């Protein structure tokens, strides 16, 4: 049976683990998640002063990484539908040029063609409709702007892939439940949702169906994570 991604389940699950989310991210990935967000920003450097949006922003780490890389006058916004995650993002905020707002990625409260970059890190996999989320991100991106997705993926190398899946299925859920007791088995959900989620060319196809062009992907750390970039077409003259 496919993993349950209903909005309520996802919101309650992240609400339950919010307090330990950052610690668990850094601990379970050995700090590699920090490098992955840094690399994402390097691969899609902000350009000009139009605002940047990070959806499913959680505790805001990718939004803060865009803030560091963008020009001082560029506004960065982060949206998420889990109040507890955004509360932590607000606490971590050090500048007024980043702001956070509660919003569902499938119904973003912004006009068409607003942002130079619309990103999502480890969030698209949790949105109940992948294409619906991507279409909405594309709608609010300005023509010529970029939609950027950072997501877990399965490594190509068979040996690494096996070791990774073994760790993911056996060690991670046990560690997760031990360290962050939660009612929604969040660390069992993680490997299940990753193994079902499209990666590599399958995800770029969906990005193109959502209206993006010139899509590309860049594997990180042997393919454990991948950065996807797509451009919103320029409007015809
Ligand atoms: C794994 S966390 C990723 C957080 C952050 N982007 C990061 O890199 O650590 C996934 C986040 O997506 C949010 N999320 C999932 N589905 C969503 C939706 N439909 N709309 C808004 N936020 C959503 C969850 O609330 C959660 O905070």
| pLDDT > 90 fraction of the chain, expressed in percent and rounded | 70
> Ligand 1 centre from 149 Cα, in Å?
12
Pairing relationship of beta strands 213-220 and 225-231 according to DSSP bridges: antiparallel
Query: Ligand 1: does its nearest atom lie under 6 Å from the Cβ of 225?
Result: no
| pLDDT > 70 fraction of the chain, expressed in percent and rounded | 98
pLDDT of residue 119: 98
Phi, psi values for residue 26, rounded to 5°: -70, -40
pLDDT at 176 over 80: no
The domains located in the chain, with CATH, are 8-231 (3.40.50.150)
The mean pLDDT of 132-136, rounded to a whole number, is 98
- Rounded to 10 deg, the angle between the 186-196 and 7-28 helix axes is 100
Residue to probe by mutation, ligand 1, list 58, 123, 176, most atoms within 8 Å of CB? 123
pLDDT of residue 112: 98
pLDDT of residue 182: 64
Pairing relationship of beta strands 225-231 and 141-152 according to DSSP bridges: antiparallel
Query: Ligand 1: does its nearest atom lie under 6 Å from the Cβ of 106?
Result: yes
* pLDDT tens digit sequence for 33-52: 999 999 999 999 999 999 99
Beta bridge partners of 180: none
In ligand 1, which atom is closest to the CA atom of 106?
19
Query: Ligand 1: does its nearest atom lie under 6 Å from the Cβ of 40?
Result: no
How high does pLDDT run on average in the chain? 93
Query: Ligand 1: does its nearest atom lie under 6 Å from the Cβ of 65?
Result: no
Cβ atoms < 10 Å from Cβ of 209: 12
Q: Is 43 exposed, middle or buried (0-12, 13-18, 19+ CB in 10 A)?
A: middle
* pLDDT tens digit sequence for 69-122: 999 999 999 999 999 999 999 999 988 889 999 999 999 999 999 999 999 999
Of the candidates 219, 39, 129, which has an alpha carbon nearest to the alpha carbon of residue 137? 129
- Sheet with 115-121, edge to edge strand ranges: 98-102, 76-80, 52-55, 115-121, 141-152, 225-231, 213-220
């Amino acid at each position: 049976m496919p993993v349950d991604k209903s909005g309520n389940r996802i919101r309650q699950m992240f609400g339950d683990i919010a307090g330990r989310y950052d610690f668990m991210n850094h601990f379970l990935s050995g700090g590699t998640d920090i490098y992955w967000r840094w690399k994402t920003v390097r691969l899609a450097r902000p350009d000009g002063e139009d605002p940047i949006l990070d959806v499913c922003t959680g505790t805001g780490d990718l939004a803060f990484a865009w803030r560091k890389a963008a020009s001082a006058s560029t506004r960065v916004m982060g949206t998420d539908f889990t109040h507890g995650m955004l509360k932590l993002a607000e606490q971590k905020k050090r500048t007024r040029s980043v702001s956070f707002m509660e919003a569902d990625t499938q119904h973003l409260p912004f006009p068409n063609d607003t942002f130079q970059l619309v990103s999502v890190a480890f969030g698209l996999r949790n949105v109940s409709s992948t294409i619906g989320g991507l279409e909405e991100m594309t709608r609010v991106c300005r023509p010529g702007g970029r939609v950027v997705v950072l997501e877990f993926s399965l490594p190509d190398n068979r040996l690494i892939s096996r070791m990774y899946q073994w760790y993911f299925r056996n060690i991670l859920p046990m560690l997760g439940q031990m360290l962050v007791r939660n009612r929604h088995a969040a660390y069992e959900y993680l490997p299940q949702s990753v193994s079902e989620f499209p990666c590599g060319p399958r995800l770029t196809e969906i990005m193109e169906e959502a209206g993006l062009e010139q899509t590309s992907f860049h594997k990180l750390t042997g393919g454990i994570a991948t950065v996807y970039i797509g451009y919103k077409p320029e409007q015809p003259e």
